[in-house]
């Protein structure tokens, strides 16, 4: 059997599913695993799948690919663009798109598993491949762990994973140490006193309170954090009111906070909470705001020795200059929970999906930020080739590096 990876990717891209709703995607995965003759368990952490290739004595290497999509309306213009819709946790009907490349992650993983299964005579050890739900909620890894994935499969000696990113196709980006930031997602409920729009003096307006809070929060990074340090405070969502002549009783903000380490987290989170409470008090709120931490993710930290070993393997396989240090990404991931819970090294890298000539032209013009769509953009669309091939090759090279080689 040879998986048609291009057709597989296009099918997954056309049929994205939101976090913890990846039932069709899981079905596609298990269909391919069955065809490969691999044992697997489905329904882990609600919709996750894990499979194992046992091949004699040797290290246990875990591979991870996430598979959920985002509530984004696709605007790529591709003939296989998503027109799917879904229901978000608030019960709203939303457009759904693979705007972060998780469809490519699944495709590359299945392609790698096919090749690794076909070359059993060349290596010894055990491979566990985890297809994880709900990375975008920062909850899928812990859901699978809570469902016993570390106990139901051989425990890892190393955890490996990769993510598509707007680098030129063929390029791999990896660095030792902190590869991705820690993050918290907050929901803030500002409590006012509602009333008629014609009588604002009889109300405590949470919309004005929210506006003041959003603007003041912009000063945390720009005025309270050392410019040499990294920090992000983003208000990604504001919800208040239903009609123009009604002052609502409350407003909700959703925040995304990013930092490189626990010290920065304590610093930024404390300042954010101070501002939220102070603006409520300045607005005359009779009740303190409610601040809920929806998720908290640790930094993604690559083991230095394992990363050096893998970087050398990538250089040998793909040639000098293929591997670059992309710097620390301010995005966050939950992949490290598998390595943290198992107490083993993690190596997590990026691979490019942008047409190399398009990327080079944007660099020459100084328009990379404008012309190269990033993850979560409605225009995010990796070129199929050589993105698929490099994603498969990178996983195979990485896995074989940590398994035992068998002499011919």
Tell me the two tokens of residue 15.
């049929």
Concatenated DSSP letters of 180-193: E-EEEEEEEEEE-B
Query: In terms of C-beta density within 10 A (0-12 exposed, 13-18 middle, 19 or more buried), how is residue 162 classed?
Result: buried
Pairing assessment for the beta strands 93-95 and 60-66 based on DSSP bridges: unpaired
CA distances from 82 to 63, 69, 368, 381, 390 (A): 27, 11, 25, 11, 24
Helix (H) or strand (E) run with residue 171 in it: none
Which of 246, 242, 224, 3 has its CA nearest to residue 109?
A: 3
Cis peptide bond upstream of 385, omega within 30: no
Rg of the chain over CA atoms, in angstroms?
23
Alpha-carbon 53 to chain mean position? 26
102 is in an annotated binding site: yes
Which of 8, 33, 182 has its CA nearest to residue 98?
A: 8
Cis peptide bond upstream of 386, omega within 30: yes
Tell me the two tokens of residue 203.
């109300």
100 is in an annotated binding site: yes
Tell me the two tokens of residue 34.
């069955």
Q: Is residue 332 within 8 Å of 323, Cβ to Cβ?
A: no
Polymer length in residues for the chain: 408
Within a 10 A sphere around the Cβ of 370, how many other Cβ atoms? 9
Helical residues (DSSP H) of 283-355, grouped into ranges: 304-318, 336-342
Within a 10 A sphere around the Cβ of 216, how many other Cβ atoms? 16
Within a 10 A sphere around the Cβ of 359, how many other Cβ atoms? 19
Helix (H) or strand (E) run with residue 87 in it: strand 85-87
Numbered residues of the known binding site: 100, 102, 136, 163
Numbered residues of the known binding site for Mn(2+): 100, 102, 136, 163
């Amino acid at each position: 059997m040879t998986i048609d990876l291009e057709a597989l990717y296009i099918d997954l891209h056309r049929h994205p599913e939101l976090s913890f709703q990846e039932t069709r995607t899981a079905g596609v995965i298990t269909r391919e695993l069955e065809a490969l003759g691999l044992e697997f368990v489905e329904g882990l952490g609600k919709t996750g799948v894990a499979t194992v290739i046992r091949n004699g004595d040797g290290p246990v290497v875990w591979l991870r690919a996430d598979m959920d999509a985002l509530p984004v309306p696709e605007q790529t213009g591709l003939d296989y663009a998503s027109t799917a819709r879904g229901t978000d946790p608030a019960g709203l009907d939303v457009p759904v798109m693979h705007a972060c490349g998780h469809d490519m992650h699944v495709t590359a993983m299945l392609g790698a598993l096919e090749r690794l299964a076909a070359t059993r005579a060349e290596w010894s050890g055990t491979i566990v491949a985890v297809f994880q739900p709900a990375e975008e909620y920062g909850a899928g890894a812990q859901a699978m762990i809570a469902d016993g994935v570390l106990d139901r499969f051989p425990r890892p000696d190393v955890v490996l994973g990769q993510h598509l990113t707007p680098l030129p196709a063929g390029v791999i980006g990896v660095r030792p140490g902190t590869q991705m930031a820690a993050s918290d997602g907050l929901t803030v409920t500002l409590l006012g006193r509602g009333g008629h729009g014609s009588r604002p003096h009889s109300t405590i307006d949470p919309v004005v309170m929210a506006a003041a809070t959003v603007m003041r929060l912009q000063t945390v990074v720009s005025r309270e954090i050392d410019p040499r340090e990294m920090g992000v405070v983003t208000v990604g969502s504001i919800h208040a009111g239903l009609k123009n002549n009604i002052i609502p009783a409350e407003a909700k903000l959703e925040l995304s906070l990013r930092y490189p380490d626990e010290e920065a987290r304590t610093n930024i989170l404390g300042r954010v909470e101070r501002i939220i409470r102070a603006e409520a008090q300045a607005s005359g709120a009779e009740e303190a705001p409610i601040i809920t931490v929806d998720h908290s993710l640790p930094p993604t930290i690559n083991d230095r020795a394992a990363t050096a070993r893998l970087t050398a393997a990538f250089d040998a396989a793909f040639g000098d200059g293929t591997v670059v240090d992309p710097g620390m990404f301010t995005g966050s991931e939950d992949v490290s929970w598998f390595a943290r819970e198992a107490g083993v090294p993690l190596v997590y890298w990026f691979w490019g999906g942008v047409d190399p000539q398009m990327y080079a032209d944007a660099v020459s013009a100084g328009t990379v930020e404008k012309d190269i769509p990033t993850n979560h953009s409605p225009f995010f669309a990796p070129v199929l080739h050589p993105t698929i091939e490099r994603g498969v090759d990178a996983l195979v090279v990485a896995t074989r590096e940590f398994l035992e080689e068998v002499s011919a």
